[in-house]
Structure 1
Amino acid sequence: MDQRRPRALTALTLASLLALTACSGSGVNGTSGAAGLRDPYFPKQGNGGYDVTHYGLKLGYDPESHHLTGTAEITARATQDLSAFNLDLKGLEVSGVTVEGKAARFQRAGQELTVRPHDDLDKGETFRATVRYASTPEKITDADDAEEGWLETEDGALALGEPNGSMAWFPGNHHPSDKAAYDIEVTVPKGLKAISNGELTRETTENGRTTFSWHNAEPMASYVATVAIGAYEVKKSATKSGLPVLTAVDASQVKESAKVLAKIPEIIDWEEYNFGPYPFSSTGAIVAPEDSAGYALETQTKPVFPGAPDTETLVHELAHQWYGDSVTPETWQDMWLNEGFATYAEWLWQEDHDGDSAQETFDALYKGDYYEDEEDNDAVWDFPPAKPTDAAHISDSPVYERGAMVIHKIRQAVGDDRFYDIIQGWAAEHRHGNADTADFTAYVEKMAPDDGAREKLKVVWDEWLHGDGKPEKP
């Protein structure tokens, strides 16, 4: 049980009370941004009334005491008149908040940090909010029992965010529909490294501590932001086109990871051929300690792997850079657009590298021959890919395998030439943006070669994407 939550629900921190005393802003009769965006599966995630354009995070971490200090400078545009707005933040003690340089009142309730600026914000106004915070960050257990948030490792930490974890280490508008640029600065004891998204712009050491500054210019959803702290070995290379590749590997995983990570330039070249131009300014991977997490995650520009990945997993997470990171779901109900595409990327890789064809993989899943365990084969049909049962099931088999089957049915309906036009065009049309299932089906129908293909697609949507149970015909 979270021992901090009852206190947060019943009392303001001392710093909050001081802020309340110090500020006498207007806005008594103003308007507040919504606390939560009513996502179908995570209704409290995100906040209304503003759009974040940039996060500037300055973090300091001591692995021995597990103490995190942070300053988050959040630049946003008000989408309505605001006398108050909310940020998502779980745990962590807030010592002060300013908006446009003036002390702001604030209070805590659960995962909500409510901020009341000294002066009301007008619709369309760009503003800067700065939050100072500290304490031991939390590990969050999801509805499906997966662990995320700030995960302690033997010599450091690993921050993972899907779907709720990022609010454990910085305040923000933590919903995939609000993407922003990031600058993440992390200070750690000398001898350790701190790896994050984007490109390293500066590394300085002073008084026994080293600061690493990372810049991610392209829009990023907060759930694919990451920080990895520890004894990492960093290597740089490039693809044939000159795209920078940076890998950071925990000291215990260097030997086991070398061969598969050497394939990154080849995989990126292959994925560019199939999916279109790579959407970011660099790529790479983070191989964390083997027991650091129970899953790999498509953190932007550098997917995270708990231990050395196999080739198919590397292909999957790198494919997410197009499908999930660049084209990001509008809500968590659209998760299949991430996982269906990334799973199908694995099928295509196998097809192009002397493995089973995508059709053979599809047939094995339909016939129930894909998994050794009968329950695993049956689980593919538990619910429609576009409508997981609840939050605990957004990462279940129908989202991945049946989602990939939907992609394959589209390929069957439109033919190979048009299929590749569709998957490349989809990635290009929504590059660095958000899209939902309705956007996708409309786009595919628009790109279909003829009325016959459109009729086939209607069956795909009705029986494979939205339909309950196993379709009668493969």
Structure 2
Amino acid sequence: MRSPAFVALATTVAGLLLAGTAAAGTGSPGGQTVGDPYYPTDGNTGYDVGHYDLRLQYQPASDQLSGTATILATATQDLSQFSFDFGLHTDSVLVNNFPATYTSTGSKLVITPAATLPKGSPITVVVRYDGIPSQVTINGEKDWLRTPDGAQAVQEPHIAAFWYPANDHPTDKATYDVSVAVPDGTQVVSNGVLVSSRSQLGQTRWNWRSTKPQATYLTFIAIGKYDIRQGTGPDGLPVTTAYGANLGANHDAAVASVERTPEVLAWESTVFGPYPFEAEGGVVPGVQFGFALENQTRPVYDPRFFRSGSDLSVIVHENAHQWFGDAVSVHRWSDIWLNEGFASYAEWLWSEKEGEGTAQQLFDYYYNSVPASDPQWQTLPGDPGADNQFSDFAVYTRGALTLHALRTTVGDDAFFAILKAWVAARKYSDGTIDQFIGIAEKVSGKPLHDLFQQWLFTPARPTLSAPVAAARVAPSVPKSVAEIDRTNALLATSKH
């Protein structure tokens, strides 16, 4: 309890502090882009987000989403105005508990606080909002997927702005609390750990928490009728898997694949370094959506990956992204090889481990399968362009070819040391191809600029260098080729 005199004094002091802040300087507006050439309207500057707290309600029958986002950030300049990427209707905005004025353009929520926010100061932004996400179009995209029993927010490189206000670029990671209330009998799956679920007044509120820095596009929700399974993996981490109610004939193969996630992660930890997150698992919705996505701690898989039986290649691929793409994210989307080339090469390493074809056999097969005259060699893995960002051959396959060329050049010991050093150096942040090359040269002690120039930035089929040529064996078709091809073909259909 506080006396009336104390409350009056506190109110006066708060008013003086606010006035002092305003008088300290007018500041300047933050930018409404981070300057990514592939997506020039993405992201915002002037602040750094530390945490998103999303408390939402969703009605599957109408696709109505409403709720409150509380965003904790730090000003990186004297800030007179700032923005979020956001497409739903905004009802009100508070900044540090004071009402703020705002405008919405359909892709940006532009906020003007009551007073300038000094550089280095903490910011608490409360945005109340509502809307029908499936009716929202942002920069020509409609990325929210309404399903017969709910919805899923799963897409790359954009999804956040369809369901919460965000600084939507991988260079601004944050931790998350995601709380969604839905009608009883409906489930909600998201990232991290399920803290609680409780039914009250005909609704169940599902509370998920992610404690490690997470990129906005890797934050997801899947809403509908799910069989949710929870357990503990050999590493002691909580494992959450979820299977849609309408998987039909794909159900058992999906379970036979996704339930092996802890086994896959245990092996990948020996190759890439310690698993970087607090939970693990996977989700297979009961709808087809054309791809799999490496949502942090919980990849989501199209059920068609399992139409021919279990598919461990896609499990290996998406979970390799937990290191390459999630723990270490792209600095710009042109760096996508650092995500997809590495996850694709992980499939080759798994094939090698399982005795279904060595990485060298796979290298020979794919290198020789595409003639030098094929225009697919013209797309650069190191800068494929936004239209080819998810090119099956150029980014996924040639990306893996590049890593095998590196491996044969520096030797196994140095190669696997490079992979671990890259994650250790950039974990929970982002990185560029140039930074990776720098670490590869430092660890191996070899000049590698020419190798990467040829494999990543030359619009032609690379000529095999002496180490790669010496390692080659007679071309053959490894057992794993069909599975890897099937996996990569579906992975590469991801819309952007």
Partner deviation per Cα, 1:199-246 (whole Å, 9 max, x = no partner): 011111011100000000100000100000011101123332222211
Secondary structure class of the residue paired with 1:83: strand
| Residue in 1 that maps onto 2:319 | 318
Partner deviation per Cα, 1:175-213 (whole Å, 9 max, x = no partner): 010000000001101001000000011111011100000
| Residue in 1 that maps onto 2:283 | 286
| Residue in 2 that maps onto 1:304 | 300
* Distance in 1 between residues matched to 2:233 and 2:268, nearest whole Å: 12
| Residue in 1 that maps onto 2:100 | 104
| Residue in 2 that maps onto 1:196 | 190
| Residue in 2 that maps onto 1:351 | 352
* Distance in 2 between residues matched to 1:288 and 1:140, nearest whole Å: 22
Q: Structure 1 residues 142 and 206, CA, compared in 2 at 3 Å: closer, same or farther? A: closer
* Distance in 1 between residues matched to 2:435 and 2:418, nearest whole Å: 13
Shift of 1:256: 3.6
Tell me the percent identity. Answer: 39
Q: Structure 1 residues 465 and 433, CA, compared in 2 at 3 Å: closer, same or farther? A: same
Secondary structure class of the residue paired with 1:38: coil
Aligned 8 A contact 2:324 2:423 in 1: yes
Shift of 1:469: 1.5
Q: Structure 1 residues 252 and 422, CA, compared in 2 at 3 Å: closer, same or farther? A: same
Of 232, 241, 250, the match for 1:247: 241
| Residue in 1 that maps onto 2:57 | 60
Please, which moves more after superposition, 295-304 or 253-262? Answer: 253-262
| Residue in 2 that maps onto 1:138 | 134
Please identify runs of 4+ aligned residues in structure 1 that moved more than 4 A: 24-29, 139-143
Shift of 1:459: 2.5
Give the unaligned 5+ runs of structure 1: 1-23
Secondary structure class of the residue paired with 2:461: coil
* Distance in 1 between residues matched to 2:27 and 2:74, nearest whole Å: 17
Secondary structure class of the residue paired with 1:277: coil
* Distance in 1 between residues matched to 2:456 and 2:81, nearest whole Å: 40
| Residue in 1 that maps onto 2:386 | 391
Aligned 8 A contact 2:103 2:111 in 1: yes
1:60-99 mapped onto 2 (5 Å cutoff): 60-90=57-87, 92-99=88-95
* Distance in 1 between residues matched to 2:427 and 2:235, nearest whole Å: 20
Q: Which structure has the larger Rg over C-alpha atoms?
A: 2
Secondary structure class of the residue paired with 2:293: coil
Shift of 1:285: 0.0
1:466 counterpart = 2:457: yes
Q: Structure 1 residues 148 and 317, CA, compared in 2 at 3 Å: closer, same or farther? A: farther
| Residue in 1 that maps onto 2:440 | 444
* Distance in 2 between residues matched to 1:29 and 1:416, nearest whole Å: 57
* Distance in 2 between residues matched to 1:313 and 1:392, nearest whole Å: 23
| Residue in 1 that maps onto 2:226 | 232
Give the unaligned 5+ runs of structure 2: 1-18, 306-310, 466-496
Q: Structure 1 residues 379 and 343, CA, compared in 2 at 3 Å: closer, same or farther? A: farther
Shift of 1:161: 3.6
Aligned 8 A contact 2:262 2:280 in 1: no
Letter aligned with residue 282 of structure 1 = A
Length-normalised TM-score, structure 1: 0.88
Partner deviation per Cα, 1:132-174 (whole Å, 9 max, x = no partner): 110101377899x9x7632101101000241122111111100
Shift of 1:282: 0.7
Letter aligned with residue 357 of structure 2 = D
* Distance in 1 between residues matched to 2:439 and 2:357, nearest whole Å: 29
Aligned 8 A contact 1:181 1:218 in 2: yes
Secondary structure class of the residue paired with 2:292: coil
Secondary structure class of the residue paired with 1:269: helix
Partner deviation per Cα, 1:345-369 (whole Å, 9 max, x = no partner): 0000001101111111111121126
Letter aligned with residue 177 of structure 1 = T
| Residue in 2 that maps onto 1:186 | 180
Letter aligned with residue 392 of structure 1 = D
* Distance in 2 between residues matched to 1:294 and 1:142, nearest whole Å: 20
Please, which moves more after superposition, 246-255 or 63-72? Answer: 246-255
| Residue in 2 that maps onto 1:275 | 272
Shift of 1:103: 0.5
Secondary structure class of the residue paired with 2:434: helix
Letter aligned with residue 69 of structure 2 = A
Aligned 8 A contact 1:158 1:229 in 2: yes
Aligned 8 A contact 1:380 1:401 in 2: no
Q: Structure 1 residues 32 and 466, CA, compared in 2 at 3 Å: closer, same or farther? A: same
Secondary structure class of the residue paired with 2:348: helix
Partner deviation per Cα, 1:427-454 (whole Å, 9 max, x = no partner): 1121111111111010101111x4xx32
1:167-182 mapped onto 2 (5 Å cutoff): 167-182=161-176
* Distance in 2 between residues matched to 1:117 and 1:59, nearest whole Å: 24
Length-normalised TM-score, structure 2: 0.84
* Distance in 2 between residues matched to 1:381 and 1:142, nearest whole Å: 32
Secondary structure class of the residue paired with 2:239: strand
Of 35, 39, 53, the match for 2:36: 39
Secondary structure class of the residue paired with 2:439: helix
* Distance in 1 between residues matched to 2:32 and 2:245, nearest whole Å: 42
Aligned 8 A contact 1:200 1:215 in 2: yes
Shift of 1:88: 0.4
Q: Structure 1 residues 445 and 140, CA, compared in 2 at 3 Å: closer, same or farther? A: farther
* Distance in 2 between residues matched to 1:176 and 1:463, nearest whole Å: 27
